[in-house]
Amino acid sequence: MRPKSPQEKKKLEYERDHFTFGWHSSRMFPKTWKRKKTYANREYRRKSAEVLTPAKPGMTSDEMELIIDDLTAGRFQKSVSRKRLHKTGTVTLGEKIRRKIKRRQQSQNRRNKTNHLWDARAARAVELLSSLTGSEFVGAVRRASVVCNGNADELRRVLRSKAPLENALHFLYELSIGSAFAIEALKRNPELGVTLGKWMAKANRTLERDRQTEALKGKEREAVRKKLRAQSRQ
């Protein structure tokens, strides 16, 4: 035989070598294939025995003449057919490579589509939050604080709504729980990350003022209670 070039060897390898997928163990495949052949042969023998049951040993010539017409070769072949076996889970190496390339392309397309959706979602959320001013800004900051702190009722309300503000609050919630999709969307667009960082710094200052105001009101209420207790004792 003449020596084969590397290209010819690779082509023969793609056509002749076979591959068994993960759900069909390469070690168990020979055993299961042998078992399937055994079952098929056993079924063939049983059907043959059922057809040949009338022709029992020790029959007389008169009895043989009665059944000889029924035991023709054509009828035997029609009555008893060997089950055809099919291999499943085994493909050529070339087919395996084609499937893997197709699956990789589909996975990449799904990933790109998901990235585009999250990029658009991040852009809409940051643009809306940055446009809020006055009481709308304060209300959005307070609701965002409640949602990101895990309030179940408010989070359920945000998830059910399709309003732009609710979508922006949901995006903030995804960031607060460390969603990789939301974080990667901001990494792909650093300008959005900078803008959102400024908004969050302003929002934290607003929340700090709310906490100081609430603490001051709490002190005033405590002072009033002490004064009332002192008056009641007198």
Half-sphere exposure of 207 (CA within 13 A, CB side): 14
Block means of pLDDT (10 residues each) for the chain, 234 residues, are 88 84 65 82 79 56 51 56 72 87 92 94 93 91 90 89 91 92 93 92 91 86 83 75
Q: Which residues pair with 18 in a beta bridge?
A: 92
Q: How far is CA 191 from the centre of its chain?
A: 31
Report the predicted TM-score, pTM, of the whole model to 2 decimal places: 0.61
Cβ atoms 88, 24 nearer than 8 A: yes
Nearest residue to 92 (alpha-carbon basis) of 207, 32, 12: 12
Please report, for residues 47, 55, 60, 61, 67, the alpha-carbon distance to residue 64 in angstroms, rounded to integers and kept in the order given: 20, 7, 6, 5, 5
Nearest residue to 56 (alpha-carbon basis) of 46, 45, 47, 67: 67
**Nearest-angstrom CA–CA distance, 153 and 144:** 13
Structure confidence at residue 54 (pLDDT): 55
Structure confidence at residue 24 (pLDDT): 59
Structure confidence at residue 23 (pLDDT): 59
**Nearest-angstrom CA–CA distance, 43 and 82:** 8
Please report, for the chain, the start and end positions of each structural domain, with discontinuous segments joined by +. Answer: 13-76, 116-233
Q: How far is CA 84 from the centre of its chain?
A: 36
The structure tokens listed for 233 are 């004792």
Rg of the Cα atoms in the chain: 39
Structure confidence at residue 66 (pLDDT): 47
Q: For residue 101, what are the contacts with CB-CB under 8 A and spacing of at least 6?
A: none
